[in-house]
Amino acid sequence: MASDTQITGVGLDASSEKKMNGDLESNIDANSTRIEPASIRGAGETDNEGAVEINYHTLTWWQAGVVLVAETVSLGILSLPGVVANLGLAPGIVVILIMGAFSTYSGLVMGEFRRQYPWVQSFGDAGEIIGRSIGMGKVFQELFGWAQTIFQIFVMGSHLLTWTICLNTLTSSAACTIIWGVIGLGVFWLLNTPRTLRAAGYYSFASFASIFTAVMVTMIDVGIEKPIGSTAVEVSRTIGFSSAFLSVTNIAVAFSGHSCFFTVMSEFKNPSDWPKALFLLQICDTVLYLVVSIVIYIYVGPDVPSPALSAAGSTVVRKVIWGLAIPTIVIAGVIYGHVAAKYIFVRVFANTKHLATRTTLGRFGWLGITAAIWTLAWIIAESIPVFSNLLGLVAALFASWFSYGIPGMLWLWMHYGNWFSSPKKVVYFSLNAMLVLIGVVLCALGLWSTGEAIAKDSGTTPWSCKSNAA
């Protein structure tokens, strides 16, 4: 293997690193896209043609944690007050805590997997590794990698949909909803032109401050005004199964940042800091989810809308709140767009200088890929115009696997043959088997409940100029 595809093992001594690279040389073909080129590790170096190399390893653990908070605590939090209202206070709290705990553990499993295979940058790379053991490495790479990318494009679509709701609310529907979508497409694409997450580590502060301020103002307003319906609080409710499970899938979306985890890990300065970033994310999102959903539900009552920012009583306050939410709507969507574009870009330009240097072809390639995926996201947003239904579909098809099912499979694969070797391993086996089961159940029943909800929702029309202001 050429010297520019050697692996730098995190935390390995020189002899171990040499052995690992030697083992890889005998097992990985020259066209594999799993190897992170040494040039990606550069910091402003130049090649013999004068092209400036790009440093992809720029994130500290706290920057990565803030990026993940901005990416995760965005749209999911807006559906949770409605989820608690639908399920009842006690079941809603319990399900949020359980899903949060399992998503934290699955994130730790992903970190363990990348420590063993430090060249992994996506679920596609992880799929190739586990598929290679049964002679289906390339098949699994394509399946996992493109599923991850499609999921992220769907989430991008949900951000564009929320953008149109926001603009219609702020302007009192002064223009066609499709026009707002096209404007959003341009804004999101323009912000996706940088090729690393370095800038996101800074403007993610604005995203977090945006959603935090917006939900705080919403809670203060509903606490003062009590604007919608009664304030009756139901500890538990008896509802239809499909409605209840659609609420569960919306909670799954709130913890569905896992599709970006491998890519964010790949841009760490020190990948061993991953648990710190993960716990920063999970503590922030779980606490916020509980506080926001409980307070808004208690003060608004069973008729709380989704997205919850529209729970404010007066039109003026509602517009202020949606204005405050613009940064998180945009920035979180841009982070998903970056991860999706990077996977495609790496696949297209693997083993070429365009991957890690600022060449003309590389620049136009990145711009073209980002434009294409945002156009697809816009088509999705216009085709599924109901916020909670789109989130439910995303969770059922993809979040069920990336946040729960696949991380469980990764642990079972890493520890195959030792599942019952000790009491501790038996506990871990049970946890990861539960992750896989959660993934299967969320996917199967989530698709059914979401399909039923979409079929019953006759109040909205795809590709319509009609206002979708909440």
List Cα–Cα distances, 30 to 26, 111, 452, in angstroms.
10, 26, 47
Tokens of 59: 């994130």
Pair of tokens at residue 72: 């995760």
- Taking the C-alpha atoms of residue 307 and residue 172, their distance in angstroms, rounded to an integer, is 17
**CB neighbour list of residue 405: distance below 8 Å, 6 or more residues apart:** 435, 436, 438, 439, 440, 442, 443
Asked whether the beta carbons of 33 and 342 are under 8 A apart, the reply is no
- Looking at the DSSP bridge assignments, the partners of residue 52 are 46
Torsion of Cα atoms, 429 then 431 then 436 then 438, to 10°: 160
Q: Which of 262, 265, 257 is nearest to 281 (CA)?
A: 257
The answer to whether domain 60-456 has CATH 1.20.1740.10 is: yes
Asked if 181 and 165 touch (Cβ cutoff 8 Å), the reply is no
Q: In the chain, what are the domain boundaries?
A: 60-456
Query: Exposed, middle or buried by CB within 10 Å (0-12, 13-18, 19+), for 146?
Result: middle
Phi, psi of 52 (to 5 degrees): -80, 130
Backbone angles phi, psi at 149, to 5 degrees: -65, -40
In the 3-class helix/strand/coil scheme, how is 269-284 assigned residue by residue? CCHHHHHHHHHHHHHH
The answer to whether the beta carbons of residues 397 and 151 sit under 8 Å apart is yes
Helix axes 123-132, 406-414, angle to 10 degrees: 40
Q: Where would I find the H helices in 88-235?
A: 89-116, 123-132, 137-171, 177-191, 200-225
Q: How is residue 34 written in tokens?
A: 């799993």
Contact at 8 Å (CB) between 64 and 201?
Answer: yes
Q: What is the pLDDT of residue 95?
A: 93
Q: b/e string for 291-311 if b means 16 or more Cβ within 10 A?
A: ebbbbbbbbbbbebbbbbbbb
Q: Tell me how far apart the alpha carbons of residues 148 and 129 are, in angstroms, rounded to a whole number.
A: 16
- Residues in contact with 469: Cβ distance below 8 Å, sequence separation at least 6, in sequence order: 165, 168, 169, 172, 173, 310
Strand partners, 357: 53
467: its two tokens: 């206002």
Q: What secondary structure letter does DSSP report for 51?
A: P
Closest CA relative to residue 65, chosen from 247, 265, 321, 230: 265
Burial letters 274-289, b for 16+ CB under 10 A, else e? beebbebbbebbbebb
Distances 140 to 72, 266, 417 between C-alpha atoms, Å? 26, 20, 22
Longest dimension (CA), the chain: 71
* Per-residue model confidence as pLDDT tens for the chain (470 residues): 333 333 333 333 333 433 433 443 334 333 344 444 333 443 344 444 445 566 778 889 998 998 888 878 877 788 899 889 889 889 999 999 999 999 999 999 999 999 999 999 889 999 999 999 889 999 999 999 999 899 889 889 989 999 999 999 999 888 899 999 999 999 999 999 988 777 666 778 888 889 889 999 999 988 887 766 555 667 767 677 777 887 888 888 889 889 889 989 988 989 899 999 999 999 999 999 999 999 998 888 888 887 788 887 788 888 999 999 999 899 889 988 998 998 899 889 988 888 878 899 999 999 999 999 999 999 998 887 877 777 778 878 888 899 999 999 999 999 999 999 999 999 999 999 999 999 999 899 888 888 887 777 756 678 888 888 86
Phi-psi region of 173 (alpha: psi -120 to 50; beta: other; left: phi over 0): left
Kindly give the residue spans of alpha helices, DSSP state H, lying in 238-385.
241-254, 261-265, 274-300, 315-349, 360-383
What does the pLDDT read at residue 299? 86
Q: What's the pLDDT score for residue 11?
A: 36
